[in-house]
């Protein structure tokens, strides 16, 4: 059993505290919150008590993006495992610093790209590995929603690590990383960024060529609704993922190839977040050494390198 602590009790911290009950290997001990008005015995007023508590094995960081770096470094010194909400840092310099500290630590770090652990993602990889659509030649993916420009909102505030690319691009980039294992050989064919009045990017698009073989077409937005789906094109067909980022307990993949069109239905006994907690805890417990369905520090740094290149003027 992994005893968990949470830092931050906003939307994501609250979600984590609820779904952990679905798991069989995880238990919530304490929540650190500077703002929560809650008399629950699990709520602590500050973060330090959670980080220092010897009964806690791992900590989930659900605070504002700009606070992650310092909290990660502090937690690593306390000898605890970490699951950090995305984006784990706000720039490449911070990412490289965290990477050095994780390497020298005896504890493990994962970024909370939750859909990686869902059975839908694993089934998608299985279908592609079975050569249902041939060799991958193109991946289209998008994540966007409409939110009114307001400097008081975290996503529109640069100081808090806001902006469409920093906050959302990790989803389509991480999706491409499922099939493009090493991103050393990639180049931007084009990129487009629309800025909000608050000084952050509100809509962005990019075309990336990976290994001179696979074209990635990516769109993210905090100012407009996008399709929020992924399509993987192969030499023999395509697969459409209608709900890639937050699959439900019952989801489906649409497969179309030279022979037929069909849907593959997937059932999960746990929610997306619970699947992630279960798999991360199993890894912390040593029950599995396979982290392909988790987003480790190497993947996080790779993702941040692409984000940094995209934002680069």
Cβ atoms of 127 and 98 closer than 8 Å: no
- Going by the DSSP 8-state scheme, the letter that residue 119 receives in this structure is H
Overall pTM surpassing 0.85 (yes/no): yes
Structure tokens belonging to residue 223: 């100012």
Q: What is the CATH number of domain 2-114?
A: 3.40.50.720
**Strand boundaries in 65-166, DSSP class E:** 81-84, 109-111, 136-144
What region does 50 belong to: left with phi over 0, alpha with psi -120 to 50, or beta?
A: alpha
* CA distance readout (Å), 109 to 32, 159, 293: 19, 25, 14
Structure tokens belonging to residue 208: 């990336």
**pLDDT tens, 249-280?**
999 999 999 889 999 999 999 999 999 999 99
pLDDT band at 192; cut points 50, 70, 90: very high
| Mean pLDDT, residues 174-190 taken together | 89
Calpha distance 202→224 (Å, rounded) = 9
Q: 3-class SS at 50? A: helix
Calpha distance 20→27 (Å, rounded) = 7
**pLDDT tens, 10-57?**
999 999 999 999 999 999 999 998 876 655 556 766 899 999 999 999
Burial of 238 (0-12, 13-18, 19+ CB in 10 A): buried
pLDDT band at 72; cut points 50, 70, 90: very high
Fold of 119-267: Dihydrodipicolinate Reductase; domain 2 (3.30.360)
Structure tokens belonging to residue 1: 């059993």
The full set of domain ranges for the chain reads 2-114, 119-267
Calpha distance 306→291 (Å, rounded) = 21
């Amino acid at each position: 059993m992994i005893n968990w602590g949470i830092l931050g009790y906003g939307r994501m911290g609250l979600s984590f505290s609820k779904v952990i009950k679905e798991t069989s290997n995880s238990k919530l001990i304490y929540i650190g919150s500077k703002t929560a008005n809650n008399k629950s015995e699990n709520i602590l007023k500050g973060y330090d008590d959670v980080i220092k508590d010897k009964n806690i094995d791992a900590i989930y960081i659900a605070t504002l993006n700009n606070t992650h770096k310092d909290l990660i470094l502090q937690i690593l010194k306390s000898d605890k495992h970490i699951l950090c909400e995305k984006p784990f840092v706000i720039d490449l310099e911070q990412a490289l610093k965290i990477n050095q500290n994780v390497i020298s630590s005896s504890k493990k770090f994962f970024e909370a790209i939750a859909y990686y652990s869902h059975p839908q993602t694993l089934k998608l990889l299985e279908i592609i590995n079975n050569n249902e659509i041939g060799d991958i030649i193109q991946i289209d993916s998008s994540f966007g929603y409409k939110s009114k420009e307001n400097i008081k909102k975290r996503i529109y505030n640069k100081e808090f690590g806001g902006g469409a690319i920093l906050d959302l691009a990790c989803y389509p980039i991480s999706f491409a990383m499922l099939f493009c294992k090493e991103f050393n050989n990639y180049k931007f064919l084009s990129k487009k960024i629309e800025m909000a009045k608050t000084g952050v990017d509100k809509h962005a698009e990019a075309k990336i060529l990976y290994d001179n073989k696979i074209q990635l077409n990516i769109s993210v937005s905090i100012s407009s609704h996008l399709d929020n789906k992924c399509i993987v094109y192969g030499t023999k067909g395509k697969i459409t993922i209608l709900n890639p980022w937050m699959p439900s307990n019952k989801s489906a993949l649409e497969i179309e190839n030279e022979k037929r069109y069909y849907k593959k239905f997937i059932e999960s006994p746990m929610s997306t977040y619970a699947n992630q907690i279960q798999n991360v805890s199993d890894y912390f417990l040593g029950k599995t050494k396979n982290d392909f369905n988790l987003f480790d520090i190497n993947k996080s740094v790779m993702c941040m390198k692409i984000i940094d290149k995209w934002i680069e003027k």
